[in-house]
Amino acid sequence: MTELSHIRNFSIVAHIDHGKSTLADRLIQLTGTVAERDMKEQLLDAMDIERERGITIKANSVRIEYPAKDGHTYVLNLIDTPGHVDFAYEVSRSMRAVEGSLLVVDATQGVEAQTLANVYTAIEADHEIVPVLNKIDLPASEPERVKEQIEDVIGIDASEAIEISAKTGQGIPDVLEAIVTRLPSPTGDRNAPLKAMLVDSWYDAYLGVVVMIRVMDGVIRKGDNIRMMQTGARYGVDRLAVLKPAMTDIAELGPGEIGVLTASIKQVRDTRVGDTITHDKKPCEKPLPGFKPAQPVVFCGLFPVDNAEFEDLRTAIEKLALNDASFTYEMETSAALGFGFRCGFLGLLHLEVIRDRIEREYDIDLITTAPSVIYQIHMRSGEQVELHNPADMPDPADIDHIEEPRIKATILVPDEYLGDVLKLCQDRRGIQLDLTYAGARAMVVYDLPLNEVVFDFYDRLKSVTKGYASFDYQLSGYRTDNLVKMQILVNDEPVDALSMMVHRDRAEARGRAMCEKLKELIPRHMFKIPIQAAIGGRVIARETLSAMRKDVTAKCYGGDATRKKKLLEKQKAGKKRMRQFGKVDIPQEAFINALKMDS
């Protein structure tokens, strides 16, 4: 057992790409936690997608033993967290399991939007914060300016910020000393009834569900009978271990320690993050305050390109949902695309990651429909309906009003691009709430409709600011607006996979763009095809795809003009009949490209 005063639990928080995972690598390497031959870049990012995109998606934990200068050996439990806004809930729950944070700021770029968001999460969790300036080996680094910025923008003392380079290893010993001297040790009573927080859980093909816990009070041993307080489920502990990053068995976990247990739990669904684990026979009095479950924000349909792969897709989605409690799904059918699933995600990056994992790990080609958000529809009868899929919209005559989700967005942008950013937000129906300056950068706060942000806001923001803006948001509630459902008709048949909710003032432009795009994507048939965008019974945009034409008069030479005319009339009648009964085949590529969000 380790004494409480010799334990330090901390997380690393930062904006995307400021070097969290690299710093974690150096800490692991310097303390010899992992043998040199097993060391690799981004050691804690286990998923292929994390390594490939260079981002952290799941928060990961590791236990490091560090012999400090005062002669004691300390146990450091590190949790490496994601920096991306879609995975903010991973950050918030990791914070509850630890007492302090290392705030990593890039000394060349300074404080960014998610630096702020993540620091505020840490401050809310009552953390002691140690600022660390990374990348000071780069010629462009300005540590003094960034220190001032941390003090001005975040309001924490940065005079003792540690200057490091996680890449070269410069300054890393100072970080380890600061963790021991400046961060608090955990508190807890060894003799009290067991009270442990469920921090995370994932599915392992050999062990079943692996649960990561942080013990607050009491002791948990192998063979104990435990109970989850929220779900009331009971289990026997089969195995206790600590992560170094590989699992290392241990006999017991005491207060302040972070470890993992397996207890023949079948599904990750049975383990709710934030639940309190206690002994079955001698439970603690009241559970720990849990977390709000992560609410999906963006919905879209996933369909297999080949309908025969539907069962494979079901298996893939069920397996992914085992590991990701924030991902929801239900079955749906579509006339154009066949059987598939309506899935809920935390944001577009989350959607892309899940889609890539299904395509890569399970080898299934997917079509994704246009992403949409949850609308609240208030009916004339006084009833309230949640709308996840625009195709299920009730009859407009019965609707009193529609409310859409709004977000509060914080954008940090260099002064010279401010005008473009304000224009972009105004174009997206934004309402400006605040504009302040942090050094040479403007900090703009806008109230924006989530619907507009989900589409391609992030990409547009990056392109108008040449990549210098950073962006963070949180949901702020619902507001009524003039929203309508726009349908796309091909050859007078509605295509349900392409219907979407738009603002009435924008409908015409969006409809025209969609029709033009489909005209390029649908191959020509033997008959003329009208492509229309319609709201209710009113067509607001139209393009016509002309027919392929066989020259029926080729065999006529000389003779009377009426002969040619007769042949052309016959062809015209045939084309008319063909259009009546002909089916337009829209190729899968056309769907995928029509739904790309660069309109």
Could you please report the per-residue DSSP string of 337-354? TEEEEEEEESSHHHHHHH
More confident residue, 53 or 186: 186
Burial (CB count <10 Å: 0-12, 13-18, 19+), residue 473: buried
Query: pLDDT confidence of 477, banded at 50, 70, 90?
Result: confident
Answer whether residue 560 shows pLDDT above 60.
yes
User: Which one, of 273, 301, 295, 461, lies nearest residue 372 by Cα?
Assistant: 301
Cα distances (Å, whole numbers) of residue 574 to 182, 310, 479, 528: 85, 38, 52, 12
Element (H, E) at 243: strand 239-244
Cα distances (Å, whole numbers) of residue 125 to 10, 179, 274: 12, 18, 14
Q: What pLDDT is attached to residue 102? A: 85
- For the chain, give every residue range classified as CATH 3.30.70.2570: 485-594
- For the chain, give every residue range classified as CATH 3.40.50.300: 4-182
Answer whether residue 45 shows pLDDT above 60.
no
Task: Please tell me the distance from the alpha carbon of residue 306 to that of residue 288, in angstroms, as a whole number.
Answer: 47
Show the DSSP H helices in 204-334 as ranges. 310-323
Query: Residues 6 or more apart from 300 whose CB is under 8 A from it?
Result: 342, 343, 345, 351, 368, 369, 370, 371, 372
Cα distances (Å, whole numbers) of residue 10 to 13, 61, 243: 10, 10, 15
Q: What pLDDT is attached to residue 300? A: 83
Q: What pLDDT is attached to residue 598? A: 46
Q: Is the dihedral of CA 347, 348, 351, 352 positive or negative?
A: negative
Q: What is the average pLDDT across 171-196? A: 84
Q: Is 315 annotated as a binding-site member?
A: no
Show the DSSP H helices in 475-503 as ranges. none
Q: What is the average pLDDT across 351-371? A: 81
The count of other CB atoms within 10 Å of the CB of residue 91 is 25
Task: Count the alpha carbons within 13 Å of 41 in the hemisphere toward its beta carbon.
Answer: 10
Query: pLDDT confidence of 52, banded at 50, 70, 90?
Result: low
Looking at domain 391-481, its CATH class is alpha beta
Q: Which amino acid is at 328?
A: T
Q: Let me know: does 74 contact 182? Beta carbons within 8 Å.
A: no
Answer whether residue 481 shows pLDDT above 70.
yes
Task: Please tell me the distance from the alpha carbon of residue 529 to that of residue 43, in angstroms, as a whole number.
Answer: 55
Q: What is the average pLDDT across 361-372? A: 80
Q: What pLDDT is attached to residue 90? A: 59
Q: What pLDDT is attached to residue 597? A: 47
User: Which one, of 360, 348, 344, lies nearest residue 294 by Cα?
Assistant: 344
Q: At what angle do helices 113-124 and 88-96 cross, to 10 degrees?
A: 30
Burial (CB count <10 Å: 0-12, 13-18, 19+), residue 467: exposed
- For 407-450, how does the pLDDT look when each residue is reduced to its tens digit (9 = 90+)? 888 888 888 888 888 988 888 888 888 888 876 778 889 898 88
Pick the CATH number of 485-594 from 1.10.238.10, 1.10.357.20, 3.40.50.300, 3.30.70.2570: 3.30.70.2570
Task: Please tell me the distance from the alpha carbon of residue 545 to that of residue 543, in angstroms, as a whole number.
Answer: 7
Answer whether residue 586 shows pLDDT above 60.
yes
Q: Is 324 annotated as a binding-site member?
A: no
Q: Is 136 annotated as a binding-site member?
A: yes
Q: What pLDDT is attached to residue 599? A: 42
Q: Let me know: does 146 contact 133? Beta carbons within 8 Å.
A: yes
Q: Let me know: does 197 contact 225? Beta carbons within 8 Å.
A: no
Answer whether residue 234 shows pLDDT above 80.
yes
Q: Let me know: does 63 contact 214? Beta carbons within 8 Å.
A: no
Q: What pLDDT is attached to residue 570? A: 84
Lowest-confidence range among 37-41, 58-62, 404-408?
37-41
Q: Let me know: does 87 contact 16? Beta carbons within 8 Å.
A: no
Q: Is 344 annotated as a binding-site member?
A: no
Beta-strand pair 195-204/276-279: antiparallel
Q: What pLDDT is attached to residue 591? A: 66
Q: What pLDDT is attached to residue 34? A: 62
**Residues β-bridged to residue 378:** 384, 401
Q: What pLDDT is attached to residue 158? A: 79
Q: Is 217 annotated as a binding-site member?
A: no
Answer whether residue 478 shows pLDDT above 50.
yes
Query: pLDDT confidence of 86, banded at 50, 70, 90?
Result: low
Q: Is 559 annotated as a binding-site member?
A: no
Q: Is 135 annotated as a binding-site member?
A: yes
Q: What is the average pLDDT across 22-49? A: 63
Mean pLDDT of the chain: 79
- For the chain, give every residue range classified as CATH 3.30.70.240: 391-481
Show the DSSP H helices in 428-503 as ranges. 450-464
Q: What pLDDT is attached to residue 587? A: 66
- For 527-542, how does the pLDDT look when each residue is reduced to its tens digit (9 = 90+)? 788 889 998 888 988 9
Q: What is the average pLDDT across 328-340? A: 80
pLDDT > 70: percent of the chain = 85
- For the chain, give every residue range classified as CATH 3.30.70.870: 298-369
User: Which one, of 264, 273, 280, 270, lies nearest residue 218 by Cα?
Assistant: 280
551: its two tokens? 């020259």
Query: pLDDT confidence of 468, banded at 50, 70, 90?
Result: confident
- CATH architecture of the region 298-369: 2-Layer Sandwich (3.30)
Could you please report the per-residue DSSP string of 119-147? HHHHHHTT-EEEEEEE-TTSTT--HHHHH
Answer whether residue 493 shows pLDDT above 60.
yes
Q: What pLDDT is attached to residue 191? A: 84
Q: What pLDDT is attached to residue 336? A: 67
More confident residue, 403 or 169: 403
Q: Let me know: does 154 contact 116? Beta carbons within 8 Å.
A: yes
Answer whether residue 379 shows pLDDT above 50.
yes
Q: What pLDDT is attached to residue 77? A: 85
Q: Is 22 annotated as a binding-site member?
A: yes
Task: Please tell me the distance from the alpha carbon of residue 279 to that of residue 215, in angstroms, as a whole number.
Answer: 12
Query: pLDDT confidence of 579, banded at 50, 70, 90?
Result: low
- CATH topology (fold) of 195-279: Elongation Factor Tu (Ef-tu); domain 3 (2.40.30)
Q: What is the average pLDDT across 255-269? A: 80
The CATH number assigned to the domain with range 4-182 reads 3.40.50.300
